[in-house]
A and B are shown apart, each in its own frame.
Chain A
Amino acid sequence: MLSRVAENLYWMARYLERAENTARLINTTTDVLLDLPKGASFGWDILLKLVGLDELFEEHYREANESNILRFLIQDERNPSAIVSSIRRARENSRTFREILPKEFWERVNGLYLYVQGFASSAAQNRAQRYEVLNHIIERNQSLAGLLISCMSHDLVYEFIRLGRNIERADMTTRIADINAAVLLPRQGGALEPLQERLWMSVLKALSAYQMYRRHVDVHVRGHAVLNYLLLDPHFPRTVRHCLSEIEECLAMLPNHKEVMKVTRRTWRRLTGLRWEGLAPAVLHEYLDQVQTDLGAIHVAVSNQYFYFYMRQQQTTSTARVVNE
């Protein structure tokens, strides 16, 4: 398979997964906002930092308020990670391999693109419609993933899609898990415990993990247990650990995977070594950052091995390109 095609497939999967998870992130945020008690506030600027878009946002907007940020995350094409941009890029990418994906895939990606074009602004501006539109985007994304799982050969083409999807998913899970860092609690307040429990519940719900958590972990929702679950549970498909094993499975199917596998193993070891109980929020945030950096290292290793292999041969001193944006 051509490196260019592999790279396009990988990024197409990342873009789609990014759109879906951005929708999930916004849904959680909206949910959290509704639960905030009097005196508490939501740090919109912190949310931007969590998704790694604070600098880009500041280039284009003065004030980090709800309406600006939602427009930025949903429909602003100057933000390459906005839902609209991600889906447009996924669609552009999939045009170049209509001959290798099932025919319906292009039609559905195109349908999703048209839907998002039509409804993005109402989702950004109108809280009442937001939930519905975003859920619809999530649903359509899942239908795309389902089509590939059930209607195409699980060959190299498929493995690059799976690889992109899982790297992006793991990364977004760590960011969504961090969302409570944006909640600024009142200095004096009565019952913080029930509030925090509700906040963590929102995180689980955003990842469609609440029901599974209750079944496999606990009816009570406690911070460290949620984090442990979202990062280390081997069975739920959106946890970092599950994504890592998917990544390893993909790599095992790919040629010349030794280097990339080494990087993945290192991430794996570091992740399973972390302890989440009793952490101060700042340390917790640092831990999650560390996981994100490690996932970035896997991405760089994949790119160097499969996409930019030839460029490196030519210019051995240059540092590898990391993003496709």
Chain B
Amino acid sequence: MNISHDYRNSEAYDELLEPGGQPRSAARALFRYLNSLQPGELEARRQSVDAAIMTMGITFTVYSEAGNIDRAWPFDIIPRVMAKSEWMRIEEGLKQRLTALNLFINDLYNEQRIVKDGVFPLEVIAGSRNFRPQCLGIMPRFGVWAHVCGTDLVRDKDGTVYVLEDNLRVPSGVSYMLENRQLTKRLFPEFFQGCDILPVDDYPVQLYDALAALSPRDGERPVVAVLTPGIFNSAYFEHSYLAQQMGAFLVEGSDLMVDADDRVYMKTVSGPRRVDVIYRRIDDDFLDPEAFRPDSALGVPGLMRAWRNGKVGIANAPGSGVADDKVVYTYVPKIIRYYLDQDPIIPNVPSYLCMDEKERAYVLANLDKLVVKPANESGGYGMIIGPRASPEERAAFAELIRANPRNYMAQPTLSISTAPTLVGDCLAPRHLDLRPFILQSSRLYATTGGLTRVALKAGSLVVNSSQGGGSKDTWIVDTEDACYPA
């Protein structure tokens, strides 16, 4: 079969193919290989990999009326490929960004220099739901708050890669990144043998080291626990997977208790056992009913007290979500310049803050071209996609903006990139993004590539697995390598 011949490029930038239909240099070897396969062979391999997903039990949970069900993870077998040279720059940009964000969070909860210097307005945090006054005056180890960050990247029509958002609360998806690589190795073993595709599988060890460095008891092998909301959480598979990979305990709130000595203990059949570090996968609100929501049944009473007194490490630290906010996002380039005195390596999507008079005027005049998002919401609530809205909807939204300008920010509608995806026995372009995971503790680390999420429906921009999204393996390849002749 001749894949690049049959493939019809969309308007958007394609990750694997040039506009003329020729593979980009990083994807050349992959295409030579795909073209060598017999017709029908891709489909056959896809079926065998689907069976493997069932037996390996790679699932995510979907809520439905019939109860919660485990669904097999939707996986597209055609990898997304990126040249190592491009990735190195992105990696550097991701590390730069997280370093600056952590300096920012630490500053906000302590001296607030950035506010005093007039770079960041205080009213933004005053209106932020994720700013936690309970955290004021706390200085966690290394001054780091967000130890695990999932940053969503998209590529626009002209090939520029932008940061779409930073997930600093409980980012998920890394287990699927790891499993996707396992699946691709099964799929194309003969290809892997000859090529320099950079490995991804050191993440669990890196995560363990980052967590272990937070242990309050130096010199002893720390007891690390992954704190999950439980079986009904959609990311439960990942919680259990990471616990297993790190040799950590998988615990729920009710398994933990804080004693009068402010230490955290697990309730085991042999009696209480001290926990040194908690990798929490539940939101701040549900962490500790004494400090946050008193009605939460998921949390551990006294956990904040234990953390504040340095008796337990918590990743990500409570309160780190303050930087996971759409208005704060627009300040990140300034934050990077302020703390690091550097230009941002990866740009933000250009954004307009409606609290600024000039920018608001621009937004109101160009509503038909922009996406407008509320500042403190997440999950796509209360937003408007200008080009897809009716004139009446736009007029109504303009009123909302005028009434509460501080609550809105706007971005141009991006045409996000595509990559060939197997549909039946053919390849068709589908939109995708990339979520790398960055760790910061005693040192910085970024995954090699990350999780590529792909919208499996034609034309769709929604990559979430709960809404018809799937994922691909992400290859960072060394194009200097011998199997990539010019």
Query: Chain A interface (Cβ within 8 Å of chain B)?
Result: 1-4, 6, 92, 95-96, 98-99, 103, 106-107, 156, 160, 254-256, 306, 309-310
Q: A95-B231, A99-B250, A106-B57 are in contact. Are A3 and B268 (CB under 8 A)?
A: yes
| Chain B 245-272 interface residues, beta-carbon cutoff 8 Å to A | 249-252, 254-255, 257, 266-272
**Contact call B249/A2, Cβ cutoff below 8 A:** yes
Residues of A contacting B240 in the complex (Cβ-Cβ under 8 angstroms): 98-99
A2-B249, A103-B55 given; 8 more Cβ-contact pairs under 8 Å: A2-B251, A2-B255, A3-B268, A4-B252, A107-B55, A160-B269, A309-B267, A309-B271
Q: How far is the CA of A254 from the CA of B269 in the complex (A)?
A: 8
Residues of A contacting B250 in the complex (Cβ-Cβ under 8 angstroms): 99
Residues of B contacting A98 in the complex (Cβ-Cβ under 8 angstroms): 57, 240
Decide yes or no whether B243 CB sits under 8 A from chain A: yes
Decide yes or no whether B244 CB sits under 8 A from chain A: yes
**Contact call A6/B231, Cβ cutoff below 8 A:** no
**Contact call B57/A2, Cβ cutoff below 8 A:** no
**Contact call B269/A255, Cβ cutoff below 8 A:** yes
Q: How many Å from the CB of A194 to the closest CB on chain B?
A: 51
**Contact call B57/A1, Cβ cutoff below 8 A:** no
**Contact call A1/B269, Cβ cutoff below 8 A:** yes
Q: How far is the CA of A254 from the CA of B446 in the complex (A)?
A: 43
| Chain B 261-310 interface residues, beta-carbon cutoff 8 Å to A | 266-272
Q: How far is the CA of A160 from the CA of B269 in the complex (A)?
A: 10
Q: How many Å from the CB of A303 to the closest CB on chain B?
A: 11
Q: How far is the CA of A306 from the CA of B254 in the complex (A)?
A: 14
Q: How many Å from the CB of B111 to the closest CB on chain A?
A: 41
Q: A2-B255, A99-B250 are in contact. Are A156 and B57 (CB under 8 A)?
A: no
**Contact call A156/B269, Cβ cutoff below 8 A:** yes
Q: How many Å from the CB of B182 to the closest CB on chain A?
A: 15
Residues of B contacting A1 in the complex (Cβ-Cβ under 8 angstroms): 268-270
Q: How many Å from the CB of A157 to the closest CB on chain B?
A: 10
Q: How far is the CA of A3 from the CA of B268 in the complex (A)?
A: 5
**Contact call A2/B267, Cβ cutoff below 8 A:** yes
Contact with A along B225-241 (1 / 0, CB 8 A): 00000110000000010
Query: Chain B interface (Cβ within 8 Å of chain A)?
Result: 55, 57, 70, 230-231, 240, 243-244, 249-252, 254-255, 257, 266-272
Q: How far is the CA of A99 from the CA of B228 in the complex (A)?
A: 14
Residues of A contacting B55 in the complex (Cβ-Cβ under 8 angstroms): 103, 107
Residues of B contacting A106 in the complex (Cβ-Cβ under 8 angstroms): 57
Q: Which of B57, B230, B244, B255 contacts A3 (CB 8 A)?
A: B255
Q: How far is the CA of A185 from the CA of B284 in the complex (A)?
A: 67
Residues of B contacting A3 in the complex (Cβ-Cβ under 8 angstroms): 255, 267-269
Residues of A contacting B271 in the complex (Cβ-Cβ under 8 angstroms): 255-256, 309
Residues of A contacting B266 in the complex (Cβ-Cβ under 8 angstroms): 2
Residues of A contacting B257 in the complex (Cβ-Cβ under 8 angstroms): 310
Residues of B contacting A306 in the complex (Cβ-Cβ under 8 angstroms): 269
Q: How far is the CA of A4 from the CA of B225 in the complex (A)?
A: 14
**Contact call B267/A310, Cβ cutoff below 8 A:** yes
**Contact call A103/B57, Cβ cutoff below 8 A:** yes
- Pair count A-B, CB < 8 A: 48
- Which residue on A lies nearest to B272, using beta carbons? A310
- Which residue on A lies nearest to B270, using beta carbons? A255
Q: How far is the CA of A4 from the CA of B252 in the complex (A)?
A: 9
The CB with the most chain B CB atoms within 10 A, among A254, A255, A256, A310, is that of: A310
- Which residue on A lies nearest to B266, using beta carbons? A2
Q: How far is the CA of A167 from the CA of B243 in the complex (A)?
A: 31
Q: How far is the CA of A95 from the CA of B236 in the complex (A)?
A: 10
Residues of B contacting A160 in the complex (Cβ-Cβ under 8 angstroms): 269
**Contact call A99/B267, Cβ cutoff below 8 A:** no
Q: How many Å from the CB of B11 to the closest CB on chain A?
A: 44
A-B pairs with the 5 shortest C-beta distances? A255-B270, A99-B244, A3-B267, A306-B269, A310-B267
Residues of A contacting B243 in the complex (Cβ-Cβ under 8 angstroms): 99
Q: How far is the CA of A95 from the CA of B240 in the complex (A)?
A: 10
Q: How many Å from the CB of B247 to the closest CB on chain A?
A: 11
Residues of A contacting B244 in the complex (Cβ-Cβ under 8 angstroms): 99
**Contact call B267/A256, Cβ cutoff below 8 A:** no
Jot down 8 A-B pairs with beta carbons below 8 A, ordered by A: A1-B269, A1-B270, A4-B255, A98-B57, A99-B250, A156-B269, A255-B269, A306-B269
Q: How far is the CA of A103 from the CA of B55 in the complex (A)?
A: 9
Q: How far is the CA of A198 from the CA of B269 in the complex (A)?
A: 47
Residues of A contacting B272 in the complex (Cβ-Cβ under 8 angstroms): 310
Q: How far is the CA of A233 from the CA of B70 in the complex (A)?
A: 45
Residues of B contacting A310 in the complex (Cβ-Cβ under 8 angstroms): 257, 267, 272
- Which residue on B lies nearest to A3, using beta carbons? B267
**Contact call B231/A2, Cβ cutoff below 8 A:** no
Residues of B contacting A2 in the complex (Cβ-Cβ under 8 angstroms): 249, 251, 255, 266-269
Q: How many Å from the CB of A178 to the closest CB on chain B?
A: 33
- Which residue on A lies nearest to B61, using beta carbons? A95
- Which residue on B lies nearest to A160, using beta carbons? B269
Residues of A contacting B252 in the complex (Cβ-Cβ under 8 angstroms): 4
**Contact call A4/B254, Cβ cutoff below 8 A:** yes
**Contact call A4/B267, Cβ cutoff below 8 A:** yes
Q: How far is the CA of A1 from the CA of B272 in the complex (A)?
A: 10
Q: How far is the CA of A324 from the CA of B128 in the complex (A)?
A: 42
- Which residue on A lies nearest to B54, using beta carbons? A107
Q: How many Å from the CB of A12 to the closest CB on chain B?
A: 13
Q: How far is the CA of A107 from the CA of B59 in the complex (A)?
A: 13
Residues of A contacting B57 in the complex (Cβ-Cβ under 8 angstroms): 98, 103, 106
Residues of A contacting B254 in the complex (Cβ-Cβ under 8 angstroms): 4
Q: How many Å from the CB of B82 to the closest CB on chain A?
A: 33
**Contact call A256/B270, Cβ cutoff below 8 A:** yes
- Which residue on B lies nearest to A1, using beta carbons? B269
- Which residue on B lies nearest to A110, using beta carbons? B70
- Which residue on B lies nearest to A311, using beta carbons? B267
Residues of A contacting B251 in the complex (Cβ-Cβ under 8 angstroms): 2
Q: How far is the CA of A290 from the CA of B98 in the complex (A)?
A: 66
The CB with the most chain B CB atoms within 10 A, among A2, A6, A310, is that of: A2
Q: How many Å from the CB of A154 to the closest CB on chain B?
A: 16
